[in-house]
Homo-oligomer: A and B are copies of this chain.
């Protein structure tokens, strides 16, 4: 039992991911579409990206091949882990080596900071082989830095020139792909020949659009959480005495929660985008949960499952207002407030400064949440990830039920609740067959874009609800996906985050069924991800993707 790998890892090490048909042959070419432009803010984006604006979308096709030259390419992982990152790297390497055996791949360590510092190592076939089809980003690790400042951009150019780098593949989410476009534009302006290509990664599933069907990792992470939620639902119907409140990763978007709901049919799934669209208040959310708890109790069911997206509180209207007011007050008087001798003095002071409505909301919160709202992280933001929303809701729902029962109402209810948070449990899971194939294909495609000397593109794979035989790979100019948003007070070009579309089929299918799921026991138990069984078990895409493409 020295340095060892598990039997499953051993068996999966030999898995050969499926590629789109066009990428399988010895010769691969590029078909150019019409020039592209962003959906909005065209002039500003053209001004910011004069050398990479308006490039055509491209599709990779069989035959009519790209030149077979030895290339030097770098790769970097940026941001939070997502299942399949190692397979992107394996795809890049295999594509480069297939094109020319003397091609070499370098991995920058610990994210974009590794590029700036020029810290990396060569990724040899022997090294990469040990990571095929595994989860995690541990091959080269990741980081959350951005390449933004002039001296950072210049450092990259210098390292690339010294290394003689033909291309850089940046594996990351919306911000990292935007950063890829910024770097591509800079390098082109500076006459540096290194091409920059992005790969769409995030378990949150919020980097997608008409060109990009899904961000990688979403499939595996959501299925891992769904396994656990299904197990918990089965426990609920077996023990018949607990309400389980499950918080799930996904701060800006609720795709993960929605996918898990479609997979498991919980009694309640809260969707941040809906709360925001409706201007829902904290009290309304509590009332909705209490109503379901009471109705289920009256049907003899004092148990259930509630899914809560991590970012929910930011989208609850009165909570949002409260956060903004507290931030403004802290901005002015943080030192005074934290200098007050105890929490009750702070509470007293805040009540003199908050609006009546916010003072009321703040007063309804449990003390630990009150305290979190007075903290600020190193960026000056409320550390909302420290708000254990599932525990907050349990607390508030319990209080409400006790109140009702003190009035002789809701007598059928016995409310005993347990909390769970699933995030780290799935971010580094080994990729599902879908994600293993998808990420390998993305890496393989990214290498072709570099071979074609294309820069400022995000690799894509489309038609993914069909068998891999029918998948189509290509590249989308990043500028096409940009719009301007105000970030820290400055209009900034960013890829628009894809939030849950309340008119889209994943949400409407959920919304049509949720009342039945609320009261009945219609739980579905997806079980653990399978790699070797029947195709309908092992290869199905996420329900979200299936419904979006149906």
Contact = CB atoms under 8 A, between A and B. Distances in A.
Interface string A102-122: 000000001000000000000
Name which of A228, A237, A238, A526 has the most chain B CB atoms within 10 A of its CB: A238
Interface string A38-50: 0000000000000
A8 B530 contact: yes
A22 interface: no
Interface string A199-225: 000000000000000000000000010
Interface stretch (A133-141, A355-363, A395-403, A472-480): A133-141
Interface stretch (A151-159, A445-453, A534-542): A534-542
Name which of A5, A7, A532 has the most chain B CB atoms within 10 A of its CB: A7
A251 to B, nearest CB: 16
B529 A528 contact: yes
A306 interface: no
A238 B532 contact: no
B135 A525 contact: yes
A9 B240 contact: no
Interface string A422-450: 00111111100000000000000000000
Contact of A532 (B8, B135, B533): B533
A265 B6 CA distance: 11
Contacts of A175: none
A110 B239 CA distance: 8
B234 A527 contact: no
Nearest to A223: B528
Contacts of A11: 533-534, 536-537
Nearest to A524: B6
A527 B536 CA distance: 20
A540 B142 CA distance: 34
Interface in A380-439: 418, 420-421, 424-430
A244 B524 CA distance: 30
B537 A8 contact: yes
A235 interface: yes
A550 interface: no
A302 to B, nearest CB: 13
A244 B424 contact: yes
Chain A interface size range: 35 or more
Nearest to A526: B6
Contacts of A231: 135, 224, 424-429
A319 interface: no
A401 to B, nearest CB: 19
B424 A540 contact: no
A235 B428 contact: yes
B228 A425 contact: yes
Given A81-B235, A238-B141, A429-B231, A536 B136 contact: no
Contact of A235 (B136, B239, B537): B136
B238 A81 contact: yes
Contacts of A7: 534, 536-537, 540
A185 interface: no
Name which of A110, A134, A136 has the most chain B CB atoms within 10 A of its CB: A136
Given A5-B525, A429-B527, 12 more contacts: A3-B522, A4-B524, A6-B263, A7-B540, A9-B527, A81-B234, A138-B238, A142-B238, A228-B425, A232-B425, A235-B424, A532-B537
Interface of A: 1-12, 81, 110, 134-138, 141-142, 224, 227-228, 230-232, 234-235, 237-240, 242, 244, 262-263, 265, 418, 420-421, 424-430, 509, 513, 522, 524-534, 536-537, 540
16 contacts: A6-B263, A6-B524, A7-B536, A8-B530, A81-B235, A136-B234, A138-B238, A141-B237, A235-B424, A238-B428, A242-B424, A418-B424, A429-B527, A528-B530, A531-B533, A532-B533
The 9 closest A-B pairs by CB, nearest first: A532-B533, A528-B528, A136-B234, A234-B428, A8-B527, A137-B238, A235-B428, A138-B237, A136-B238
